[in-house]
Amino acid sequence: MNGVSNTARILLRDDLRDFAGYRSARSEALQGSVWLNANESPSASPGDADGRLRRYPDPQPPALRDALAALYGLAPAQVLATRGSDEGIDLLLRAFCVPGRGAIVIAPPVFGMYAVCARLHGARVVEVPARDAGDGWRCDLAAMADAALRQHANLVFVCNPGNPTGEAIADADIALLAERLRGRALVVVDAAYAEFAGHDASAALLAAHENIVVLRTLSKAHALAGARIGCVLAASELVGMLQRCQAPYPLAQPAVQAALAALAPDAVARTRTSVARVRGERERLLGELQSAPGVRRAYPSQGNFLLLRFDDAQAAFDALLAAGVVVRDMRATPGLADALRISIGTPEQNQRVLASLAVARQAA
């Protein structure tokens, strides 16, 4: 089922059904030794020793697409390389939500870009809040499906693992959600932190459910946040729909080269080792913080971060900052007025976190 998405055919904006997008000079399959079709400079920039940067990049570099497809166990036609996963979110809104009339469903607290992109596009944001169950957060996927059907939402975003909650959602539950919404909505699984969960079902979910779309990124586990390389994984037909909505040259050549280096077999092996270290540190830090004075609750996490509630979040934030440790202040997020999110660092950095919080408690 890797080629056709009947749900995408149904939901694609009517005004985009015959839309071909912009065909750039690099879109043409032409051969030659003198390239004068893109109004590029005939001479190189002083900082461009081999002259490659004076040329526009390939819109979808085949080598990168092949490498991403191999990493995620899919066919290259099922992969759309993007400027981080943020661009994938934006493209989905453009293709499947009519401006001013579309709607999406989210489960806050969750990654803010779903709502930002929707609002910039004029789409309604339907919220089905996740529930704090004490020992972790729970998204109500059945209620999200109800809301999507009731509000005629074309996109349902499921962050798995959740950010900032750290929640991991079972594949079987996502499959049930997709089945219920088949022909009615696309289920967008944001798997930015999947490597840290130790289980990646992207390929299996896509093979069995034509209305599932998966977002991936090289920013987290592969340590390329500055390169801004992500991808959309979906049926090849849906990938084609999104590509027609994409900017002509979305990926900078230096970023593509960095991504290819990070996706070489030896680099991927090192990434797996690094991820295992982060997971080990995450569990060690969680164990320390769950019994730390002043920490009201430390939630289990399947990401590379921990979400914490404090008796005095301001004092904790100030103590960390005084020690040079910058964490994410979550207190402006509804339902998280006492919370901070702390990324997992090196063992030495994590020890500084623990020491800083101990100082905050002693000063209280």
Q: Which domain holds residue 174?
A: 6-263
Q: Are residues 158 and 224 in the same domain?
A: yes
Q: Both tokens of residue 63? A: 């080598």
pLDDT number for residue 199: 80
Domain boundary among 263, 286, 318: 263
The model's pTM: 0.95
User: Counting Cβ atoms within 10 Å, is residue 183 exposed (0-12), middle (13-18) or buried (19+)?
Assistant: exposed
Q: What Å distances lie between residue 124 and 91, 102, 104, 129, CA to CA? A: 16, 6, 6, 15
> What pLDDT was estimated at residue 364?
58
Q: Quick one: 274 and 146 in the same domain?
A: no
Hey, which residues does 103 pair with through a beta bridge? 124
Whether residue 125 lies inside any domain: the answer is: yes
Task: Kindly list the averaged pLDDT for each block of 10 residues, start to end, along the chain of length 364.
Answer: 88 96 83 90 91 93 97 97 97 96 97 97 97 93 98 98 96 97 98 92 90 98 98 98 96 97 98 98 96 94 97 96 97 96 98 89 63
* Domain-embedded: residue 60: yes
Take residue 5 and report the two structure tokens written for it: 């998405």
- Same domain (yes/no): 223, 156: yes
Provide the domain count of the chain: 2
CATH number at residue 108: 3.40.640.10
